Amino acid sequence: MPTPTPSAPPTPSAPSPAARLRGLRPDWLSDPKVWRTEILAGLVVGLALIPEAISFSIIAGVDPAIGLFASFTMAVTISVVGGRRAMISAATGAVALVIAPLNREHGFGYLVAAVILAGVFQIALGALGVARLMRFVPRSVMVGFVNALAILVFMAQVPEMHDVPWPVYPLLVGGLALMVFFPRVTKVIPAPLVAIVVLTTITVAAGIAVPTVGDKGELPSSLPVPGLPDVPFTLDTLTTIAPYALAMALVGLMESLMTAKLVDEITDTHSSKTRESVGQGIANIVTGFFGGMGGCAMIGQTMINVRVSGARTRLSTFLAGAFLLVLCVVFGPVVSDIPMAALVAVMVMVCFATFDWHSIAPKTLRRMPAGELAVMVITVVCVVATHNLAVGVVVGTITAMVIFARRVAHFTNVTSATGPDGASVVHSVTGELFFASSNDLVTQFDYAGDPDRVVIDLSSAHIWDASTVAALDAITTKYAQRGKTVEIIGLNRPSAEIHERLSGELTAGG
């Protein structure tokens, strides 16, 4: 009886167009729970953006509507073109500080032109791969960045708690209590939204006179209109705005990429930093053409969105901007009655949730290397002193690199073994040879006392830079001046290549 031939497995049919479309749909379209979370998170963030945008407008010296429009266009645009889902971008204090002198000295038209040029710079920097530099930011700097952010956000709330009517304080305590205990009842509605609604209802119904959102400035009553900046399109204008635009581009990218990295860690997901860099540029260009003051990622509002409200998609970012505009234009009188105590309570809770309390726990402080602690403290001090997150990150990263270089430099060691006949000596070098360690290498040989034949064994070492090649040339020269020969052995291929290419070429007589 012949053996039956096994039939071939059925070829899987290609998915239908409808199935492919379902696979491309974002989560919030197919999951009602996600949909609800994203909408409520966007509403909370939209409310929290209003006083911040007005405050930053005052810093920049522009009308409050300018900051509110900037927050709307930044959030809506970045929700589409950005690389980090659920991150909030809007008008920020760091950008306001950079462009305020330009607005003060040359006028609003130059400010708008600088915002557009800053966007162009950000797109160029993103295309050049500046986002890849984020891998050089060590964890201790990141922790310092997060802790400094929490401190700065809290410090920004202090004026709202000083020299105010006494009812502000019980309202503030009540708001904090609601955000702590309400999630134990249900997490369907974000606790910050509940706190804002409850405190607003109490103050309006009871006629309690406390500072409100309306006291910060007049809310806009119409939509923004696109247009070109009112400046002469000349080389003189370009040279005037270029330094401010470049500074804004760098500060904005630094804060945005650091925030994106933080959200990556919180959500345990990856984001495209290059796309985020380009997206920030596009968002600033759009904002500039709508007459906005520009901006970047907002860490406080992002923490409200991601950590407090649990948002994870682009919908919350888009709705934060959309709700902001609707709340201002349509529901301006209602929003104006929101007590500042409610929003301050939200931001204080954000500070508490953002601060890395584990980093200052006694157990952590005992185990953490002194250098790591120093980097974290330096980052925090620089940020708090300058009120500029970018400055703290740069200083902290440079400090970490210096500490690392010093630490690695001390690992270089030279051991010597004289031959049986006493006519030769082998110096075995171990460690990483670069500018910090190779400078000390020259002093670790006995040029006068060594025999006539010297062997330098680099089997357990690696040459990283020209400074090391120059140091080896100096060692060879010192022995040659005493009539002794030097042989360098054990070079791995990368070390041999750099040594062969540069040896004898690094001095004027080479």
Helices (H), 133-210: 139-157, 168-185, 191-206
Q: Taking a C-beta distance cutoff of 8 angstroms, is the pair 106, 94 a contact? A: no
**pLDDT at res. 135:** 78
As a whole number, mean pLDDT of residues 429-449 equals 87
Q: Is the pLDDT of residue 1 over 50?
A: no
Assign 220 a pLDDT band (cuts: 50, 70, 90): confident
Q: Pairing between strand 424-433 and 453-463? A: parallel
Q: Is the pLDDT of residue 34 over 70?
A: yes
> Listing from the earlier edge strand, what are the strands of the sheet with 485-489?
413-418, 424-433, 453-463, 485-489
Q: Tokens 């890849």 appear where? A: 132
Q: Taking a C-beta distance cutoff of 8 angstroms, is the pair 106, 240 a contact? A: yes
**pLDDT at res. 22:** 53
∠ CA 69-295-312, nearest 5°, is 90
Q: Is 231 helix (H, G, I), strand (E, B) or coil?
A: coil
pLDDT, averaged across the chain: 87
pTM summary value: 0.73
Identify the bridge partners of residue 454 per DSSP, sorted by sequence position: 425, 486
Distance CA 491, CA 475 (A): 16
Radius of gyration, CA atoms only, the chain: 30
Helices (H), 61-92: 64-81
Instruction: Of 31, 37, 26, 71, give the one whose Cα is nearest residue 53.
Output: 71
Which of the listed ranges 156-160, 368-372, 424-428 does the model predict with the highest average pLDDT?
A: 424-428
Q: Taking a C-beta distance cutoff of 8 angstroms, is the pair 150, 347 a contact? A: no
Q: Is the pLDDT of residue 337 over 80?
A: yes
Please report, as a single letter, which amino acid is at residue 416.
S
Q: Is 373 helix (H, G, I), strand (E, B) or coil?
A: helix
Q: Is the pLDDT of residue 350 over 90?
A: no
**pLDDT at res. 30:** 64
| Cα dihedral 403, 405, 411, 412 sign | negative
Which of the listed ranges 53-57, 77-81, 185-189, 380-384 does the model predict with the highest average pLDDT?
A: 77-81
Distance CA 282, CA 303 (A): 23
Q: Taking a C-beta distance cutoff of 8 angstroms, is the pair 500, 465 a contact? A: no
Instruction: Of 438, 435, 423, 426, give the one whose Cα is nearest residue 488.
Output: 426
Distance CA 386, CA 434 (A): 34
For the chain, how far is it from start to end, CA to CA, in angstroms?
Answer: 88
Q: Is 340 helix (H, G, I), strand (E, B) or coil?
A: helix
| Cα dihedral 297, 301, 305, 306 sign | positive
∠ CA 440-443-448, nearest 5°, is 165
Length of the chain: 510
Distance CA 369, CA 145 (A): 18
Percent of the chain at pLDDT exceeding 70: 93
Phi, psi of 3 (to 5 degrees): -75, 130
Phi-psi region of 107 (alpha: psi -120 to 50; beta: other; left: phi over 0): left
Here the tokens at position 362 are 């006694």
Q: Label residue 447 exposed, middle or buried (CB < 10 Å: 0-12, 13-18, 19+).
A: middle
Assign 24 a pLDDT band (cuts: 50, 70, 90): low
